[in-house]
Structure 1
Amino acid sequence: MNKEMNQPLRERLLMDSDWKFALGHASDIKRDFDYWKGKPFAKQAEGRGAIHPDFDDSDWREVCLPHDWAVELDFEHSSDNDIDYHGYKPIGRPNPATSIGWYRKPFSVSPDDKGKRLSIEFDGIFRDSQIWLNGYYLGRHESGYTSFRFDITDCVSFDGPNVLVVRADASQVEGWFYEGAGIYRHVWLVKTNPMHVAHWGTYVVSEVGDGFAELTLHTTIVNEDDLGNTGTIESAIYDADGHCVATVQSETQPIGAWKEQEFIQRVRVEQPRLWDLDSPHLYRLVTTVREGEAPTDVYETSFGVRSIHFDPDLGFFLNGRHVVIQGVCCHQDHAGVGAALPDRLQYYRIEKLKEFGVNAYRTSHHPPTPELLEACDRLGMLVMDEHRQVGVGEEIANQLRSLVRRDRNHPSIILWSIGNEEGGIQDTEAGARAAKTMKRIVHELDPTRLVSYGGNNGGQSAGINGVVDVRGWNYWKIGANLDEYHKEHPQTPMIGSEEASTLCTRGIYENDEQRGYVSSYDENFPGWGSGSEEWMNYYEKRPYLAGAFVWTGFDYRGEPLPYRWPCISSQFGIMDTCGFPKDNYYYYQSWWTDQTVLHLFPHWNWTGKEGQDIDVRCFSNCEEVELFLNGRSIGRKQMPHLGHLSWMVPYEPGVLLARGYRDGQEIASVTKETAGAPSELRLLPDRIAINADGEDVSCIAVQIVDDLGRVVPIADNEVVFTVSGPGVLIGVGNGNPSSHEPDKYIEPGAVWRRKAFNGLCMAIIQSTQQEGVLCITAESTGLAAAKVTIDTKACTLRPSVQQVEAANLIF
């Protein structure tokens, strides 16, 4: 606390609530709130329309952040590639009425804050945003993915309301996939004294020794004042239990007016607890800035102590231990919410990935939201952190600098990627020069990690591939002999930056172009891709490959393949957009985990196919599996390594039973039964208690079951949701890649509903800021309704930091 003013030395306040939102227009001035007519750049505080603080926004819609307006739009069938690859949402230049979004937020600043430095931090806006405060133009930010800030000290009002205005222009896309639109990440108000730790101003480097770790602490202090000063910093290291394990104090250094000064300190931590996949221990660096004896700032940095190494012959090592990268690539959208994920959903997604053995995450193809990296740090997930695109212009270079400065303290990050599949330049000399510049920028800011790139250009070693530290392969099948490449480049570590691209629809076992569905038999993939078994067997035989990132962990909106409309999402995921597992999930779980896995598919509801052969398959890590139909043995087989088992079984209703054996002893069994008609609903929340902070969520899985409680695998009943108590619905989904139902119902009084897809759908419930018990009811015509209660409780930490016991989910 500031002793004279009894004020905190630093405040970082969440600005997610009480926003007003309206769609503007990219070509109609009047419908864009007189944006150009108002001369927004002519004179400060004189702009008309929505820019002006006194603008009447009473008919605008109230929203809370994070917010993605694209997911709220209707689907539109179009031959335009942008709308196709962005999930048939009308975003982009051909859609001027739905590609501009305006946001306005009033807030107050206390007169007690006079003399402080104030700034607004945006974690991410899609896209090309312009920001005003009280009519003053703060600036523009082009990237839809990087975080940024503006100092507002000179234009903030201390004796009246402030109005923050954001215009987001999503008419120009950055990617070829669904990107969302709007302020889809957090916004913060930051208050500091004039002398404070700079924005992203700490950097912790750890060197692990035998029983100790040497930490080098880089701290940049800024003096945003007209008078020069002197300053010292005290650095204290705390472990996860809150124990102080090391301290160090700097010498006093002069810091000139409006200057910054870097302090470098070294400190030893004895017997450090290393950050690892199963024990992701995090330390806190608490930096206290002093002006004389008086503290002026306290700043906390989360970090981990660990060692990483890429060997060109043996792959990747974490803390001296060989670790095969069992990774996935992921886009950032999720069922029900689009790109605007509450923090808890980041944790939910990482938890779902870890359940089937994933240990690494590629942030394809752009910088992630900070909370995703926080989840990876806390849950133990390695990260390949990716820049949006290759380039050397100042705009792109600054985007790269912001990525590295923001993220370099996260122990989960093991690789920086400077881009992906830049076909126009990746083989060229110009591409090599650009990559060299980008690599230099990264290594200047973080010399502890290597640089990679996702190249889909086969054995090409010129251009970008010849510059980066770790050769990234997007698909081993594309025109290359990896063994020859390794012999020719023996000092180059190699990793599968993108592999598989296996196409599957959850619960579907025949290709259906009309409905846009793909069989789940692990037999469908584009020419550059491969089946799960194929690429896994290829990589296991080559220890010089550090492992691979599968395309993708979850289905994602946009880029519909192999079919276009009615498909509106990809089908590459090992899980669907809700996080419901597909059959391939259990293939990976069999070989990526130590737990006993025995998974049988397809379902056993094939009315009309009596007597016809059904291809019954099993994913398992049991040594042998025997299959039974209605008590009769169909055969016992030995499981091939990294393979599967298959039986052709004439269909008859009843019970398929598989028994798994190891060393001749039965260790597991699983059944697939012919389910009856849908009878009732079952609700399964992923968490039965959440924080009453207005942000925390629980994902409610809905199962359609028969009168014996068996999931009906072909059920598509429509489910209607109602909520009572301190909670609200924020999204619904079902994982159907061809569903055109709304994910959100934004009209007041709208009835929230969603059809089940192959027996399952999901609702996402969010807390309010009230404690109590909220009740979610699911109803469907002709079926018994279901209810579940969720406790909401007071908390002092953000929801992503809280750990709440999860309910067991059975699918």
Structure 2
Amino acid sequence: MLRDRISMNDGWRFYEGEIDGVRNRWGWGKSGSWNQGPESADFDDSTWRRVELPHDFVIESTPYEYSVQEFGSDNAIPEMDTVRNIHTTAGSFKKDVGWYRKHFFVDASDLGRRIYIAFDGVYRDSIVYVNNFFVGRHQSGYTPFEYDISDFLNYGGDNVIVVYVDAGKAEGWFYEGGGIYRNVWLYKTAQVHVRDVFVKAVPKPEENLQESEEVSAELDIAVEISSCEYVMGEGEKINFVKNDSSAVGVTADYSLEIMINSQEGTSVKHTVYDLKNINYGVTKYNLRSNISRAKLWDTENPFMYTAEIRLYKDGEVIDRCSQEFGVRSIYFDADEGFMLNGRKVKLNGVCCHQNHGGVGSAMTGEIYHYRLLKLKEMGVNSYRTSHYCPAPELLSWCDRLGLLVMDETRLLSSAEEDLNQLEAVVRMGRNHPSVIMYSIGNEEAQSELIAQGGYIAKTMINHVRAVDDSRPVTMGLLLYDLQKRRKLDTVEEIAHIGTVLDVCGFNYHHLRWQEYKDKHPAQPLICTEASTIKGSRGCYERDDENCLLELSMMETVEEQSEYVDKDYMSGAFLWTGFDYYGEPTPFAWPAVSSQFGLMDLSGNAKDGYYYFRALYRKEPLIHIACSWNGTEGEKKDVVVFTNCSQAELFVNGRSLGKRTRSRYGYLCWKAVSYETGKLIAVGDGGTARDERVTCGAAEKIKLWLEHGENDIIIVNAAIVDERGNTVQNADCELNFLAVLDEAKENSEQKYVRVSCDSDTGMSAELKVSDFEMSLNAGVDWKLFSEVRLLGTSSGWAADHVLPQSNRRKSFRGLAQAIFKLC
């Protein structure tokens, strides 16, 4: 039998908290003796809650206030002076330990195969048991890991896996969630199988990449073969016992067949390699191939290839796997910045944390896809996985969407554990053409100013090179002394670490980039973290009591954009693409989420989104960053973001004059007198237009399918007046429900009926069929029997209602619900 890959996401039981009682007296003393307590196979978990993965149990808790000053002067962050402790920076949610248990069956015919359990991510410090046996412990809450559980299984019978997680401790200063928040897989392979494949595909040096759609490409294919059989060499024998050991395998002939197929289904290369010296453990092979007429992977046309790999033993196929890759050329130039396939590409990037309104860190691949599509709409072409190993689905979607990735590890450290985590990051990222660089740290202000920081960075870079030598290394340096709370006297204070990086990265401090460039003209530079225009969605006055932030940072962003646009700067990654749980600065409690994002927790665009969309995209755009409700005669400053050269503002048809835009600036009409009616902005005589109207009373709820893909349905709701305008000042509590129904005219067709009613008497209903799902991917809805609510959100930073609640108060007229078909 060939390799199987089985999802293990269903059928788990969960319990939060430590469990008292008799524990395993012999657990560490005797093999297979974890037979007491929740680790044991016979433990009664019938009262535990049923859960489906991915699962974040921290987001299920009610936030609570804890205001003790725990940050000292040596680790306080100036921009977060209002935040006193890690509890607040993490979103004020309860952090705890948790237990997961699952029963599963393994067929008797699988005896003799290798069975692996693979976790894409568990937060954190997880311990795994199978059938009373301790299997392994993994500290990181972000890197993937797997265990060979073949020897611990009951073949042809029931098996129990137990996972203990400790989410009470922190790896970062932001919201991190807790539990098995990514996918889990069961792999079944032959005793000898392919463990890992790395396809390094680059155009031949003599190719003119800008003038040809097809190029010749060289493929370096690194293959690792894992064997659980020990084989004696020819002529060798065991001489320390009378008879040959039954544990010694028989020699065999192995070969590897690699077929390269394009995303169009065309076979472009077929090669067979003889493999020598396979024995117990991992044997590595470096193979070479080529594609004579390869299509390049690019941001505009992210063309993918697949290496189909078959392992043969004595002429019989014993294992089969595949690896996707792309052909492209990357280069960072000290004077011209980043070059993709020979052309200059300015990196218009964002930093993003891995959580979304209502679901926390338990983001499915469909939710990742939804968020990336929103970023693409804005004109973003690059993504920083701040500040840890990303989910596999994120990188796969970046490959398909043509987004460039800065792939980041959690910590600047050369300790063995942290180097192992770094290697996991690189191994997962190295086959993805979207990944163009690795980052070995972020704002390591405690160590980047001392000599040890440089030593550590050099070791980490060498470690990256040993696993993948095809991408440069950077990190986000902070030009600030955190311990002494001072700006650096000179950029040379970080030169000992900055100069060992392939590309020197800076977080903020754009006025000092030129200073570093003048001293190190041969080094490429990038802004690893940059300021955005901050504010609560739809808010234009600060309200500390309700944690509402006014529109701000426009002047800083305008000045910063000019520096980012310099030829030698490779680009910038904005902080952040989306609001996220935790880091509520400039507020503390009762705020539980940030407001740095260009979109809110639910993916709704905020005003700052349109400044950067106008900057990044070519089509004419104009956006009014102002509401048009108020008191007659009230004075309003009307801010306009546009990429048109000139804009004109009208109130009820009366022109308030034209303004000419600077390259990176925004426009503002000061002290405009409010009057009921319509506010219109027109760019370049009509090439772009935006308007705000005085809203009427809230009349109804509008529902629409925001994103539908596979078994995930994202529905947005708006409170609107009789003309369909969103009413931002009439928020009310909404109640979301969804059921799976059969169409009356066709009993075989199913649809999801989403209903939403308010505490003010309004209601709405939306029907979603499988045909209406934009990205169904052939999922058969007839297999589903119910709809489960994953979570709701509104984007309000001080919202304390449980994210998985079906009741949600709208914020500035909007709310969102995420459902899953089961």
Q: TM-score scaled to structure 2, two decimals?
A: 0.86
| Cα distance, 1:150 vs structure 2 | 0.5
Q: Which segments of 5 or more consecutive residues in structure 1 lack a partner in the other structure?
A: 1-6, 92-98, 524-529, 746-751, 769-811
Letter in 1 for 2:202: S
Could you tell me which residue of structure 1 aligns to residue 700 of structure 2?
Answer: 680
Could you tell me which residue of structure 2 aligns to residue 476 of structure 1?
Answer: 509
| Cα distance, 1:715 vs structure 2 | 2.8
Question: Is 1:234 matched with 2:257?
Answer: yes
For each residue in 1:354-374, what CA deviation from the matched residue of structure 2 results, as whole angstroms up to 9, or x when unmatched?
A: 111111111111001111111
| Cα distance, 1:640 vs structure 2 | 2.0
Secondary structure in 2 matching 1:112: helix
Does the 8 Å CA contact 1:208/1:306 hold for their aligned counterparts? no
Secondary structure in 1 matching 2:129: strand
In 2: Cα distance, 1:208 partner to 1:167 partner: 49
Secondary structure in 2 matching 1:255: coil
1:85-164 matches, cutoff 5 A: 85-91=89-95, 99-164=96-161
Which of these residues, 495, 508, 512, is aligned with residue 543 of structure 2?
Answer: 512
| Cα distance, 1:18 vs structure 2 | 0.3
The alpha-carbon distance between structure 1 residues 34 and 314, as it changes in their structure 2 partners (threshold 3 A), is: farther
Does the 8 Å CA contact 1:201/1:221 hold for their aligned counterparts? no
| Cα distance, 1:70 vs structure 2 | 0.3
For each residue in 1:311-343, what CA deviation from the matched residue of structure 2 results, as whole angstroms up to 9, or x when unmatched?
A: 011100111110001011111010010000011
Does the 8 Å CA contact 1:715/1:757 hold for their aligned counterparts? no
| Cα distance, 1:245 vs structure 2 | 0.5
Letter in 1 for 2:363: L
Does the 8 Å CA contact 1:429/1:462 hold for their aligned counterparts? no
Could you tell me which residue of structure 2 aligns to residue 370 of structure 1?
Answer: 392
For each residue in 1:389-422, what CA deviation from the matched residue of structure 2 results, as whole angstroms up to 9, or x when unmatched?
A: 0111111111111111122101100110011111
Could you tell me which residue of structure 1 aligns to residue 559 of structure 2?
Answer: 534
| Cα distance, 1:208 vs structure 2 | 4.1
Could you tell me which residue of structure 2 aligns to residue 724 of structure 1?
Answer: 739
Could you tell me which residue of structure 1 aligns to residue 6 of structure 2?
Answer: 13
In 1: Cα distance, 2:228 partner to 2:197 partner: 14
| Cα distance, 1:224 vs structure 2 | 1.4
Secondary structure in 2 matching 1:444: helix
Which of these residues, 799, 805, 817, is aligned with residue 739 of structure 1?
Answer: 799
Which of these residues, 2, 17, 29, is aligned with residue 42 of structure 1?
Answer: 29
For each residue in 1:247-299, what CA deviation from the matched residue of structure 2 results, as whole angstroms up to 9, or x when unmatched?
A: 1111241312x133222222221221111112111110111111121111111
Q: Which segments of 5 or more consecutive residues in structure 2 lack a partner in the other structure?
A: 69-84, 208-214, 231-248, 481-490, 741-785
In 1: Cα distance, 2:427 partner to 2:199 partner: 8
In 2: Cα distance, 1:409 partner to 1:567 partner: 40
Question: Is 1:764 matched with 2:818?
Answer: yes
In 1: Cα distance, 2:275 partner to 2:804 partner: 56
Letter in 2 for 1:232: S
Secondary structure in 2 matching 1:686: strand
Does the 8 Å CA contact 2:197/2:323 hold for their aligned counterparts? no
In 1: Cα distance, 2:465 partner to 2:381 partner: 25
For each residue in 1:677-731, what CA deviation from the matched residue of structure 2 results, as whole angstroms up to 9, or x when unmatched?
A: 111011121235x43xxxx312111111001111112231111111110422111
| Cα distance, 1:205 vs structure 2 | 3.6
Could you tell me which residue of structure 2 aligns to residue 184 of structure 1?
Answer: 181
In 1: Cα distance, 2:22 partner to 2:349 partner: 48
Letter in 2 for 1:192: T
For each residue in 1:491-531, what CA deviation from the matched residue of structure 2 results, as whole angstroms up to 9, or x when unmatched?
A: 111000011154311111011122111112445xxxxxx73
1:195-274 matches, cutoff 5 A: 195-198=192-195, 200-209=196-205, 210=207, 211-226=215-230, 227=249, 228-256=251-279, 258-274=280-296
The alpha-carbon distance between structure 1 residues 39 and 472, as it changes in their structure 2 partners (threshold 3 A), is: farther
Letter in 2 for 1:496: C
Secondary structure in 2 matching 1:558: coil
Does the 8 Å CA contact 2:621/2:689 hold for their aligned counterparts? no
1:505-654 matches, cutoff 5 A: 505-523=536-554, 531-540=556-565, 542-606=566-630, 609-648=631-670, 649-654=672-677
The alpha-carbon distance between structure 1 residues 271 and 715, as it changes in their structure 2 partners (threshold 3 A), is: farther
Deviates more, 1:648-657 or 1:318-327: 648-657
In 2: Cα distance, 1:181 partner to 1:59 partner: 21
Does the 8 Å CA contact 1:76/1:88 hold for their aligned counterparts? yes
Does the 8 Å CA contact 1:326/1:547 hold for their aligned counterparts? yes
The alpha-carbon distance between structure 1 residues 34 and 440, as it changes in their structure 2 partners (threshold 3 A), is: farther
| Cα distance, 1:634 vs structure 2 | 1.1
| Cα distance, 1:123 vs structure 2 | 0.5
The alpha-carbon distance between structure 1 residues 667 and 156, as it changes in their structure 2 partners (threshold 3 A), is: same
Letter in 2 for 1:64: E
Does the 8 Å CA contact 2:532/2:553 hold for their aligned counterparts? no
Letter in 2 for 1:42: G
For each residue in 1:101-133, what CA deviation from the matched residue of structure 2 results, as whole angstroms up to 9, or x when unmatched?
A: 000000001111111011100111000000000
Letter in 1 for 2:261: Y
The alignment of Structure 1 onto Structure 2 pairs a total of residues equal to 721
Letter in 2 for 1:657: I
1:658-669 matches, cutoff 5 A: 658-661=681-684, 665-669=685-689
Percentage identity across aligned positions?
A: 40
Letter in 2 for 1:72: E
Does the 8 Å CA contact 1:202/1:217 hold for their aligned counterparts? yes
Could you tell me which residue of structure 1 aligns to residue 55 of structure 2?
Answer: 67
In 2: Cα distance, 1:250 partner to 1:514 partner: 69
Question: Is 1:313 matched with 2:309?
Answer: no
| Cα distance, 1:237 vs structure 2 | 0.6
1:269-284 matches, cutoff 5 A: 269-284=291-306
Could you tell me which residue of structure 1 aligns to residue 746 of structure 2?
Answer: none
Deviates more, 1:496-505 or 1:552-561: 496-505
Which of these residues, 338, 351, 359, is aligned with residue 360 of structure 2?
Answer: 338
